[in-house]
Amino acid sequence: MLTIRNLCKTYPNGVRALTDVSLDIPNGMFGLLGPNGAGKSTLMRTIATLQEPDSGTIRLGELDVLADKMTTRSLLGYLPQEFGVYPKVSAEAMLDHFAVLKGITHRGERRELVAALLRQVNLYDARKRKLGGFSGGMRQRFGVAQALIGNPKLIIVDEPTAGLDPEERQRFLNLLAEIGERVVVILSTHIVEDVSELCPRMAIIAEGRVRLSGEPRETIRALEGRVWRRIIDKGALHEYQERFTVLSTRLSGGATLIHVLADSLPEAGFERIAPDLEDVYFGQLHQAATARAA
Ligand code: ADP
Average pLDDT, the chain: 92
Query: For residue 179, is pLDDT > 90?
Result: no
Domain ranges of the chain: 2-215, 221-293
Confidence of residue 211 (pLDDT cuts 50, 70, 90): very high
Q: Give nearest CA residue, ligand 1 atom 21.
A: 11
Query: For residue 123, is pLDDT > 80?
Result: yes
Q: Are 161 and 176 in contact (CB under 8 A)?
A: no
Query: What is the distance between the alpha carbons of residues 147 and 150, in angstroms, rounded to a whole number?
Result: 8
End-to-end Cα, the chain, rounded Å: 36
Contact residues of ligand 1, CB 6 A cut-off: 11, 13, 15, 17, 34, 36-42
Confidence of residue 73 (pLDDT cuts 50, 70, 90): very high
Confidence of residue 85 (pLDDT cuts 50, 70, 90): confident
Query: For residue 96, is pLDDT > 90?
Result: yes
Please tell me the predicted confidence (pLDDT) of residue 109: 95
Q: How far is the CA of 129 from the centre of ligand 1 (A)?
A: 35
Burial of 16 (0-12, 13-18, 19+ CB in 10 A): middle
Task: Determine the average pLDDT of the residues in 45-61.
Answer: 97
Which atom in ligand 1 lies closest to the alpha carbon of residue 36? 4
Burial of 217 (0-12, 13-18, 19+ CB in 10 A): exposed
Sheet holding 201-206: strands in order across? Answer: 76-79, 154-158, 184-189, 28-33, 201-206, 209-214
Query: For residue 59, is pLDDT > 80?
Result: yes
Query: For residue 161, is pLDDT > 90?
Result: no
Among 11, 207, 209, the mutation site with the greatest number of ligand 1 atoms within 8 A of its Cβ is 11
Which atom in ligand 1 lies closest to the alpha carbon of residue 11? 25
Beta bridge partners, 210, equal 205
Task: Determine the average pLDDT of the residues in 133-148.
Answer: 89
Hey, which CATH number is domain 2-215, 3.40.50.2300, 1.10.357.10, 3.40.50.300, 3.30.70.600? 3.40.50.300
Q: How far is the CA of 17 from the centre of ligand 1 (A)?
A: 6
Q: How far is the CA of 47 from the centre of ligand 1 (A)?
A: 15
Q: How far is the CA of 132 from the centre of ligand 1 (A)?
A: 28
Q: Give nearest CA residue, ligand 1 atom 23.
A: 11
Query: For residue 81, is pLDDT > 80?
Result: no
Which atom in ligand 1 lies closest to the alpha carbon of residue 41? 2
Task: Determine the average pLDDT of the residues in 9-20.
Answer: 97
Q: Give nearest CA residue, ligand 1 atom 20.
A: 42
Rounded to two decimals, what is the model's pTM? 0.91
Q: Give nearest CA residue, ligand 1 atom 12.
A: 17
The number of C-alpha atoms within 13 Å of 235 and in the hemisphere containing its C-beta is: 0
Please tell me the predicted confidence (pLDDT) of residue 170: 86
Please tell me the predicted confidence (pLDDT) of residue 30: 96
Query: What is the distance between the alpha carbons of residues 291 and 294, in angstroms, rounded to a whole number?
Result: 5
SS3 sequence of the chain: CEEEEEEEEECCCCCEEEEEEEEEECCEEEEEECCCCCCHHHHHHHHCCCCCCCEEEEEECCEECCCCHHHHHHCEEEECCCCCCCCCCEHHHHHHHHHHHCCCCCHHHHHHHHHHHHHHCCCHHHCCCEHHHCCHHHHHHHHHHHHHCCCCCEEEEECCCCCCCHHHHHHHHHHHHHCCCCCEEEEEECCHHHHHCCCCEEEEEECCEEEEEECHHHHHHCCCCCEEEEEECHHHHHHHHHHCEEEEEEEECCEEEEEEECCCCCCCCCEECCCCHHHHHHHHHHHHHHHHHC
Q: Give nearest CA residue, ligand 1 atom 14.
A: 37
Q: How far is the CA of 68 from the centre of ligand 1 (A)?
A: 25
Please tell me the predicted confidence (pLDDT) of residue 6: 98
What type of residue is 185? V
Distance of CA 70 to the CA centre of its chain: 24
Task: Determine the average pLDDT of the residues in 42-67.
Answer: 97
Q: Give nearest CA residue, ligand 1 atom 7.
A: 41
Confidence of residue 176 (pLDDT cuts 50, 70, 90): confident
Please tell me the predicted confidence (pLDDT) of residue 107: 94
Task: Determine the average pLDDT of the residues in 185-203.
Answer: 92
Q: How far is the CA of 20 from the centre of ligand 1 (A)?
A: 16
Q: Give nearest CA residue, ligand 1 atom 10.
A: 39
Confidence of residue 197 (pLDDT cuts 50, 70, 90): confident
Q: How far is the CA of 107 from the centre of ligand 1 (A)?
A: 41
Confidence of residue 162 (pLDDT cuts 50, 70, 90): confident
Query: For residue 82, is pLDDT > 80?
Result: no
